[in-house]
Amino acid sequence: MKDGRSVLIRPVELSDAGAYLAMERDLHRTGQGVVLDVDELPETAEAQADDLESAVISEKSVCYRVKYVALVDGALVGNADIKRHRWRRLRHQARVSIGVHPDYQERGIGRLLMDRLLGWAFEGPGTTYGGIRRIELGVFEGNTRALRLYESLGFEEEGRSRLFLRHEDGSFETDISMALLREPGI
Ligand SMILES: CC(C)(COP(=O)(O)OP(=O)(O)OC[C@H]1O[C@@H](n2cnc3c(N)ncnc32)[C@H](O)[C@@H]1OP(=O)(O)O)[C@@H](O)C(=O)NCCC(=O)NCCS
């Protein structure tokens, strides 16, 4: 991290479910950059484990999906997911999402996680089937930190979905669709 402490980034395991859920709860309590309310998350570690099952690497999923977790001093403090289309004509496309625990934001973990996802896509299992050529994501207009991170990695805005998310106070949030493209030959 920027403060010199080491971060371990590895694929998620089912045994992470309890720590993963605790991190998600803390992140969702802030309401920043997230869609779900805390009470819409899985209710128990067992339910979270069921949700995580499809994200755990298996022989069938190895070229289609990975979810990384970031650990600092053994604590699970971030996660990042990349999911590739399974249809043959769409499997050059993937979608990413990422979240860092509120106490660990702005220390370089988000960038490390994004680097790992892009490594997976462009140098790892994503190079199968002709490679991943398009990575998409959605980010709220007001989420400057995330926007800066994605722009610095080459993501470009493609469009805006207005009235995308409704806050409890009745205000709305616009969602920006971004994509990172790797044209064949580049
Ligand atoms: C967005 C998020 C993933 C970024 O992760 P992070 O660990 O906080 O970010 P990092 O410390 O790795 O910083 C990455 C980049 O973000 C940008 N950034 C960080 N802090 C910033 C700030 N206060 N203002 C503007 N940009 C900022 C910078 O470009 C920075 O790059 P650099 O410092 O290496 O030049 C994290 O803050 C988060 O989980 N936020 C809440 C949930 C969320 O918004 N998820 C994304 C939904 S699209």
Give residue limits of the domains in the chain: 8-181
Mean pLDDT, all residues of the chain: 96
Q: Is the CB of 145 under 6 A from ligand 1?
A: yes
Ligand 1 centroid vs 52 CA: distance in angstroms?
24
Residues 15-31 as b or e (16 or more Cβ within 10 Å = b): ebbebbbebbebbbeee
pLDDT digits (tens, 9 = 90+) for 103-119: 999 999 999 999 999 99
pLDDT at position 1, please? 87
pLDDT at position 186, please? 57
Q: Is the CB of 33 under 6 A from ligand 1?
A: yes
Res. 183: pLDDT tops 90: no
pLDDT confidence band for 87 (50 / 70 / 90): very high
Secondary structure class of 157 (helix, strand, coil): strand
Q: Is the pTM of this model over 0.85?
A: yes
Q: Any idea which architecture 8-181 has in CATH?
A: 3-Layer(aba) Sandwich (3.40)
pLDDT at position 184, please? 77
Residue 148 is classified by DSSP as H
Secondary structure class of 166 (helix, strand, coil): strand
